[in-house]
Structure formats: C-alpha cells, structure tokens
C-alpha cells in the first residue's frame, strides 16, 4: 500500500514537472518576445545617455526590473502616452503606447520568472543617437542653421527658474521656408533641468501685415522636434532677434554656462511650399470672454475645477498635432469639434495628463482633422487638487494661475495650418479618394 502511494506520488510529481516544462516552453521569453517590445518602445529613453532612470538594452539590465516593468506597463504609466484609448482619433505618427497584447506578453514573461530564451532570437540592435546628437539628423541630415541661447548658470536647488535672453538673428541672406525644427538642451545637464521652452524670432523690420513674431521652435519633455507635413512650411524672415523663454527646474545638480540650441531645416532656396503654417498655435481654455488670462483658475484645497474654452475658426484649417498644457493639478483635457451643421465630435482626449511630460500627439496623415470654416473648437479641462492626484505637491493649498509648476495654466498647443476654401475642398476630396481606394483594395 505504502509502495503504491509512493509510486502515485512520484508519478504526480513527474506530471507536474512535465507540465511546468511545457509552460516554461510556452511562456514568453526575453530574447524572442520582450526585447523587440522594449527596443521599439523604451530604448530611446532607457539607454545610458537617455532620460530614463536605467538602461533597458540587455537581458542583464532588464532582468532585475521585470516585475517593475510589468507593473508600470500594466498600469499604462510607461511608456508615457496619456491619451484616452477609448475615444477620439487613435492613429498617430509618434504613438509610443503598448497594445494589450504587448502588455500581456510582458506580464506573462515576468510571471514566468523572466526567462532569457535563446540569444539567437534577439532583434538586431538599434542604433541609438548619443545624448548630444540631433534626433532628426539621421532622417534629414545636419541642420541648415543652428541658433544658440546665451549661457545660463544652473542652480542646484531651488524653485522654478526662467532664462529669457535676446540673441541677434542674422543667419539668412534671403527669406526661407522652414521644413523642420529641433530644440536641443545641452547634454547631460540641460536634458535634466530644461522642462520646456520657446525660441521666437522677432523680425527687425516687419512689413505691413506681417506677423510680429515667428515661433521657430517650442519644447517640452516629450516634445523636442517638429516636422511640418509635406508641402507645408513656415516663412522665416532674414533678420531680427531670438526671444528665448526657457523654463529650468533644479534637480540637485548645478552647472555653469548651460546653452540650449535649436536646429533649423529649410526647403531648398527659392522653393516655396504650397501651404504656410505658423507652427503650434495657442488655444486658451482659461480667461476668455474678456476675462484676464488665468483669472478664472481658482482650485480649492482637496477639490476640483472644470474649465471650458471655445474658439470659432474664421477659415478652414488642418490640425497636425495636439499638445495640452497644464501643470501639476491638471488631469484631463478634451478637444472637441462642433461643426457648422451642429454635429459634435471628440477629436482627442488626454485623460491621464502628467505635467512631467509635454507630449505632442502627431496625427497620422489620413487621421488629422480637416475642419471647415465656422467650426467651434471646444476644450474642456479638469484640475485635481486632491491627494488622489499622484503628482500633487500639496493638496492643502489654493491654486491659482502662474508660471511655476505649483501654480496652474490652461491652454492647448495645436500644430495648425489655416487654408482657403479651395484648399479645403481639395484636401477633403483627396482624403475621400484615398479612403475609397483603401476600401476597394480590402
């Protein structure tokens, strides 16, 4: 009897061992399943010269953080992509979010003990630009022109700092059309302390009817460059001065002589694109209808506030990108279009806004909104000054408008090109033709 039980026990253990072996063989492994995901979605920041807190390029680097990676990806904290996936446009050129399948793969791999797998299955290593390199250089070559801020001495500790020098601009012999721009803080210190900034060209002698300023580049952690759509450019005059507005935030390390650079890529000399853009345009959600900017931002301790702003388009327009801007209590910003026929559509909603990331959501070519004249753009913002907000520095405080991170702002930056009625009709017809071709091919 005892002998029979022992035989059954041994048989059961053998069966469990065999089952575990099968499960281990079926479980995702790093080399074949996880490494391609991390390389595509994480390595651009998580490398020795990136802004990520640790590199995630090899199994030895990744293995100790397997459960942490599972936690952050399952909660959609990482990679940073704060759009609501259930509403609005979902096709973007720079989508860094993970699919449910990718999240499940990472979770199953971590739960299985984070097996390495066969190194022969590893993807070909990607080439990662050095910390001080231009991100657009591989795609567009070196910049045609580089402008630089005046040096700034970064303090190690303290509150928000602003550096707003004026620098002469005389780098062009003739008016040119801008194709792309990249905002590059210094490496390594600048990338840690420059939170966001603007480089605006103020023409020396603006002609009658010209804009008073040209925003060559705007920056936020998560948005460092902008490439205008094909056939679209920004007109840049020959001279003037660059008005820099740089927001530094101390992180415990000081340094002297920090310089920010902006690289500019132009269309060939003499070439004029079909459409002219002003780049990112600000659409306020606060202080409208004659009220001073931000005067309506009053968020009580342990409370919430909802604000809404509307803007009527005086001409047709194409929206290329959407970038909400709030501070530490900002949680949600929704952009809706109310069309002249009364139809209402949510274009995009950021429902997990995080002030630490200033992400520009760049619409795919066949998804970017093409809006008729008379469309109302309506923006709705939600502020959360409670302890439930994970980046709220102090829910005991009243919060009002201000430039500091602990104060609040409330606007959206839209990469936008205004067009005329003929161009609007052509854009709509071309999109419908592409959609019909795609439908037939399917």
385-417 pLDDT tens trace: 999 999 999 999 999 999 999 999 999 999 999
352-393 pLDDT tens trace: 999 999 999 999 999 999 999 999 999 999 999 999 999 999
What is the bridge-based pairing of β-strands 255-258 and 152-154?
Answer: antiparallel
Is residue 50 very low, low, confident or very high in pLDDT (cuts 50, 70, 90)?
A: confident
Q: Give mean pLDDT, residues 98-103.
A: 97
Q: Output DSSP code: residue 373.
A: T
- What domains, with CATH codes, occur in the chain? 2-121 (no CATH), 137-267 (2.60.120.230), 280-427 (2.60.120.230)
pLDDT at residue 1, as a whole number: 47
pLDDT at residue 79, as a whole number: 96
Q: How far apart are CA 261 and CA 217, in angstroms?
A: 10
Q: How far apart are CA 442 and CA 421, in angstroms?
A: 32
Q: Give mean pLDDT, residues 200-217.
A: 77
- Give 229-286 as a DSSP string: PTTEEEEE-S-EEEEEEEEE---S--EEEE--EEEEEEPPTT---SEE--SEEEEESS
Is residue 229 very low, low, confident or very high in pLDDT (cuts 50, 70, 90)?
A: very high
Burial state string for 396-432 with b = 16 or more CB within 10 A and e = fewer than 16: ebebebeeebebbbbbbbbbbbbbeeebbeebeeeee
Selection from 201, 54, 4, 36 nearest residue 105 by Cα: 36
pLDDT at residue 210, as a whole number: 52
pLDDT at residue 436, as a whole number: 82
Q: How far apart are CA 67 and CA 201, in angstroms?
A: 48
- 247 vs 209: which has the higher pLDDT: 247
**Paired residues of 265 in beta bridges:** 180
């Amino acid at each position: 009897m005892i002998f029979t039980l022992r035989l059954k026990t041994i048989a059961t253990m053998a069966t469990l061992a065999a089952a575990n072996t099968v499960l281990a063989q079926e479980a995702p492994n790093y080399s074949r399943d996880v490494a391609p995901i991390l390389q595509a979605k994480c390595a651009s920041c998580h490398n020795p010269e990136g802004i990520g807190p640790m590199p995630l390029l090899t199994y030895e680097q990744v293995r100790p953080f397997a459960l942490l990676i599972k936690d952050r990806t399952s909660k959609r904290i990482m990679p940073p992509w704060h759009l609501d996936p259930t509403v609005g446009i979902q096709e973007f050129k720079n989508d860094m979010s993970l699919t449910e399948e990718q999240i499940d793969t990472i979770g199953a791999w971590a739960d299985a003990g984070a097996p390495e797998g066969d190194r022969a299955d590893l993807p070909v290593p990607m080439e990662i630009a050095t910390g001080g390199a231009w991100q657009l250089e591989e795609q567009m070559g070196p910049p045609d022109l580089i402008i630089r801020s005046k040096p700034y001495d970064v303090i190690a500790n303290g509150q928000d700092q602003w550096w707003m020098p004026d620098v002469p601009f005389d780098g062009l012999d003739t008016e040119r059309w801008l194709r792309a721009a990249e905002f590059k803080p210094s490496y390594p210190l600048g990338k840690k302390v420059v939170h966001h900034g603007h480089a605006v060209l103020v023409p020396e002698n603006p002609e009658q009817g010209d804009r008073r300023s040209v925003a060559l580049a705007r920056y936020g952690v998560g948005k460092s460059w902008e490439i205008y759509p094909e056939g679209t450019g920004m007109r840049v005059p020959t001279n003037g001065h660059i008005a820099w507005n740089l927001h530094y935030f101390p992180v415990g390390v000081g340094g002297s002589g920090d310089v920010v650079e902006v690289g500019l890529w132009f269309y060939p000399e003499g070439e004029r694109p079909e459409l002219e853009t002003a780049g990112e345009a600000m659409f306020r959600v606060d202080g409208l209808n004659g009220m001073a900017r931000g005067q309506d931002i009053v968020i009580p301790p342990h409370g919430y506030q909802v604000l809404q702003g509307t803007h009527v388009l005086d001409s047709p327009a194409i929206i290329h990108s959407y970038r909400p801007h709030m501070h530490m209590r900002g949680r949600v910003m929704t952009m809706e279009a109310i069309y002249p026929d009364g139809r209402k559509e949510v274009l995009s909603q950021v429902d997990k806004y995080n002030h630490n990331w200033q992400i520009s959501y760049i619409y795919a070519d066949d998804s970017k909104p093409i809006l008729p004249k008379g469309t109302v753009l309506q923006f709705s913002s939600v502020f959360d000054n409670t302890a439930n907000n994970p980046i709220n520095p102090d829910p005991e405080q009243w919060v009002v408008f201000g430039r500091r991170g602990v104060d609040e702002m409330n606007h959206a930056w839209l990469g936008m090109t205004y067009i005329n009625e003929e161009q609007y009709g052509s854009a709509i017809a071309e999109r419908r033709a592409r959609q019909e071709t795609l439908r037939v091919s399917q």
